[in-house]
Structure 1
Amino acid sequence: MAYTAEAFQNEFLALGATEVNAIVTVTSSGAADGRRTAGATEIIIVDCSGSMQAEGRMVAARQAAKAAVGCIDDGVRFAIVAGVSTAQQLFPAPGQLAVASPRTRADAVRAIDRLQANGGTAMGAWLKLAHQLFAQRPGDIQHAILLTDGENGEYKGYLDSVLREIGGSFTCDCRGVGTNWQVAELRKIATAMLGTADIVAHPRDLTAAFTQMMTTAMGKTSADVQLKIWTPVNSTIRLVKQVEPQMVDLTGKRTPDGPRAGRYPLGAWGAESRDYQICVDVPAGAAGDEMLAARVSVVEGEEALAQCLVRAVWTEDAALSARIDRQVAHYTGQAELADVIQAGIEARKAGDDHTATLKFGRAAQLAHASGNTATEQLLATVVEIEDAATGTVRLRRRVEAADEMALDTRSTKTVRVGRAR
């Protein structure tokens, strides 16, 4: 696999300034022959709580799980977990992993037919069982799908403690079906597990969602890629955040690597490109001083795959120091977009229509300016956009719960400069 890393920044700082910002674009070509550099393990977790019987969700979940199994490549280890008030391994035998083949996939499909909606919701227990199964295959590309239709029923704080214990040890993509689950809860799991969270409003769309997630997972060819950042003496990393394709704050996931370096997990990779924002505090310099603010490396194990440099140059020329790099400015706006959408949703739920209108108006303005047409379209389900350029909107009197949840879950999805999706 070939990687590149490129830094975008305005390296010129005003006298007295100490904050250095850069966007680092990491791109991987993927494996030339499509072969993985490590093994792979997949775990499918299906909520089997009693509420899954409603609206045909259990029937749809069975079909979706079967479709996902059908996408698993030969040789990949996998398991199916039934999520109730405890975690129950449905296939293969408890504590074991199956090796994907035509026979084991057929066996798994027959096991999935036994899934019944009868029990509670215990996401912490589900994730712990997945972690135990993944522990059998250290070094594998490890990915899980978690489906739920409700709110976690474990005692307060248990899920948080599980996420602190296992966070980042595997990737978990979370999907909520219907509208009775909590966006913040699935977002918390997805953030801790370097995955995604999204709504599947209608059970009929579950098969497509599961197929997409498993197909994407099968495209990963490298297991554990990290961003290693070195900074000079008296410098401090303030922020490391994935900003494309979605916002994920990695700052708190740092593990030390020597006296002045740290590593940040990027998860599994295939042929893809992602953008990261890095903010470093450095000692102020005099006019004309230059320094290396950060050395950013893409690493897997001890192998450096790509590298780029973040610089700082102090100047008395206000025209130079006042420029904001286009990439940095764009993603600052995308971060604000996510924040104001979530603030608008909270204000609307609290009955504060004035604040909600202001926040959604600003969101419409930011989405329009950045070319984030997907978010602009989602906003239009919650407000009537009269003038996106000026942020003039009116709250809709009636808003479908699924539309509001879709706006909330997808508020952290971003677009690159000049590229709408």
Structure 2
Amino acid sequence: MATFSKPDVPQFSVDVYQNEFLPEGGREVNAVVTVTSTGGGTSGGRGPAGAGAAPGAAAGPSAGVVIMVDCSGSMEYPPTKMRGAREATAVAVDALRDGVSFAIVAGTHTAREIYPGNGGLAVADAATRAQAKQALRKLSAGGGTAIGTWLKLADRLLSGAEVSIRHGILLTDGRNEHEKPEDLRAALDACAGRFTCDARGVGTDWEVKELTGIASALLGSVDIVADPGGLAADFRSMMENAMGKEVADVALRLWTPQGAELVFVKQVAPTVEDLTARRTEAGPRAGDYPTGSWGDESRDYHVQVRVPAAGIGQEMLAARLSLVLPRPDGTSQVLGQGLIRAVWTDELAVSTRISPQVAHYTGQAELAQAIQQGLEARKAGDMDAATAKLGRAVQLANASGNADTAKLLAKVVDVVDAASGTVRLKAKVADADEMTLETRSTKTVRVKK
């Protein structure tokens, strides 16, 4: 384990879990890498002033937040949606730390900044929070939905602010019907790496794949709030999490020796997120994979490397993993490091042992895939395939102790025997239950160390 730190940046530690032993001729090396960040130099400034922070408490890192609220016509049906969105945004504004820059955007088929309304961001204090909440009272529903325009306005507002952490919160209740899918894709490509964004769907008339795609591209969280009454608590939690971030733009840098190649890099906890295709070159035989912003938290990554075959007794460094933070001068600061090794042996009992961490997260990734494929088959009317896939998901959730996912699955299938994955599809499933299972399918349970 290697640990690095400097003032005002959290301390990062890197732990590598693997079975480094391969049989003669073996080429596939798997490792689970746990990255933990603790105790940046600004922990005194986490609490929002609106929640009673001590006067003169140490300020957190400079941050900008844009809240994007769906104001399309459907938000009035039922009226509790628009009311819930106004109340939730007010709660999020109250959770802003003093000194954080912020704006509120009303999203329809166009995007409009409703506060502060001057093409920039306001700085959070008692007065601006009160003004923002006053502006929220004027929010009304009417128009279509073009989420790409909301994201582009958020990007313009955030890019004009001199802040180190840029974050968005996006709420919608419907499908992105007033722009082409390629327009949304282009907006996401333009915003990726510039700010992170949490996405929430309220009600059951929105498209799960659209919102999960937004959160994935912008390295944020995604969830369903089926009942508008739950929005305020969810927004408070999201904003408090955003206020806890202490360092942005951290990348996972992987170097491999001559002859070795990276097969994949996946975040596997707290959610499954395949980062393989997001590689940007970072010098000879090295590539960077984005991880977004960090506060006090821990995440797990599964790395698979293919190495050249070697003989008994030989060993090699299969990959070197570094956490890096870009500096303004174009260089990088190393925050933590870990090594992935390969050792060839003729001891069968040693070389065939699978690391418990690798086995666990391989199962969690399969669980997410089985749920998504099962729900797709169910929508397509292929009940045999749906039963098989969702049955496998029940089996995997049961074996790994993923109780939350098991409960969600039990609302979609009748479980006959969890251990064997024997299930029957329910004849009737509430839209909210099916959408919750799909939205949360990538949430994993941590391996017991």
**TM-score between the two structures when normalised by the length of structure 2:** 0.91
Q: Distance in 2 between matches of 1:94 and 1:250?
A: 37
The aligned amino acid for 1:54 is Y
Q: Partner of 1:322 in structure 2?
A: 352
Which amino acid is 1:60 matched to? G
Alpha-carbon distance between aligned partners in 1 of 2:123 and 2:185, rounded to the nearest angstrom: 32
* Matching of residue 109 in structure 1 with residue 133 in structure 2: yes
Question: What SS is found at the alignment partner of 1:306?
Answer: strand
Aligned length: 419
Is structure 2 residue 115 aligned with structure 1 residue 91?
yes
Instruction: Name the residue aligned to 2:394.
Output: 364
The structure 2 residue matched to 1:66, chosen from 90, 101, 110, is 90
1:380-419 correspondence runs (5 A): 380-418=410-448
Q: CA deviation at 1:309?
A: 0.4
Superposed CA deviations along residues 298-333 of structure 1, whole A, max 9, x for unmatched, are 122221111110001112222222111000000000
What is the match of residue 64 of structure 2?
41
Query: Is 2:264 the partner of 1:239?
Result: yes
Pairwise mapping of residues 15-414 of structure 1 onto structure 2 (< 5 A)? 15-34=24-43, 35=45, 38-55=61-78, 56-137=80-161, 140-153=164-177, 154-301=179-326, 302-414=332-444
Q: Give the match's secondary structure for 1:157.
A: helix
* CA offsets 1:179-238 (integer angstroms, 9 cap, x no match): 110000101111100011111001111111111100111111112211111111122112
The answer to whether structure 1 residue 10 and structure 2 residue 19 are counterparts is yes
In the aligned structure 1, how far is the partner of 2:280 from the partner of 2:389? 36
Whole-angstrom CA distance in 2 between matches of 1:314 and 1:137: 53
In structure 1, the gaps of 5 or more residues are none
Counterpart-to-counterpart distance in 2, 1:144 and 1:151: 19
Write the deviation string for residues 41-67 of structure 1: whole angstroms up to 9, x where unpaired.
Answer: 011000000000012211110000000
Deviation at 1:139, TM superposition (A): 5.2
Q: Percent identity?
A: 55
**Which whole-Å CA distance do the structure 2 matches of 1:130 and 1:144 have between them?**
7
| Structure 2 CA distance for aligned equivalents of residues 97 and 350 of structure 1 | 46
- The letter for the 2-side match of 1:53 is E
**Superposition deviation, residue 33 in structure 1:** 4.2
What TM-score comes out, normalization by structure 1 length? 0.97
Deviations 1:280-302 (A, max 9, x none): 12211111110001111112222
1:238 match: secondary structure = strand
Runs of 5+ consecutive residues of structure 2 not aligned to the other structure:
1-9, 46-58, 327-331
Residue 16 (structure 1) shift: 2.0
Residues 247-287 of structure 1, C-alpha deviation per residue, up to 9 Å, x if partnerless?
11111221111111111111111111000111112211111
User: What is the SS of the residue equivalent to 2:181?
Assistant: coil
Instruction: Output the CA distance in 2 between the equivalents of 1:183 and 1:406.
Output: 9
Q: Distance in 1 between matches of 2:300 and 2:445?
A: 10
Structure 2 CA distance for aligned equivalents of residues 38 and 255 of structure 1: 26
CA contact (8 A) 1:52 1:117 kept: yes
Worse-matched range after superposition: 72-81 or 149-158: 149-158
Q: CA deviation at 1:32?
A: 4.5
**1:156 to partner: Cα distance:** 3.5
Alpha-carbon RMSD across the aligned residues, in angstroms, is 1.3
- What's the CA shift string for 1:131-163, capped at 9, x where partnerless? 111112355211111000011020231111121
Say which SS state the counterpart of residue 360 (structure 1) adopts.
Answer: helix
Q: Is the 8 A contact 1:239 1:278 kept in 2?
A: yes
Give 1:351 shift.
1.4
Alignment CA distance shift 1:229-1:139 (3 Å)? farther
Asked if the contact 2:121–2:161 (Cα under 8 Å) also holds between the matched residues in 1, the reply is: no
Q: Once the 2 structures are TM-superposed, how far is the Cα of residue 170 of structure 1 from its aligned partner?
A: 1.1
CA contact (8 A) 1:37 1:222 kept: no
8 Å Cα contact 1:30/1:269 also seen in 2: no
What stretches of structure 1 move > 4 A for 4+ residues in a row?
A: none
Q: Confirm or deny: 8 A CA contact 1:371 1:418 kept in the other structure.
A: no
Q: Corresponding residue for 2:7?
A: none
Separation (CA, whole Å) in 2 of partners of 1:138 and 1:361: 51
1:99-137 alpha-carbon deviations (Å, 9 max, x no partner): 000000001001111111011101111111111111123
**What SS does the corresponding residue of 1:2 show, helix, strand or coil?**
strand
CA contact (8 A) 1:30 1:272 kept: no
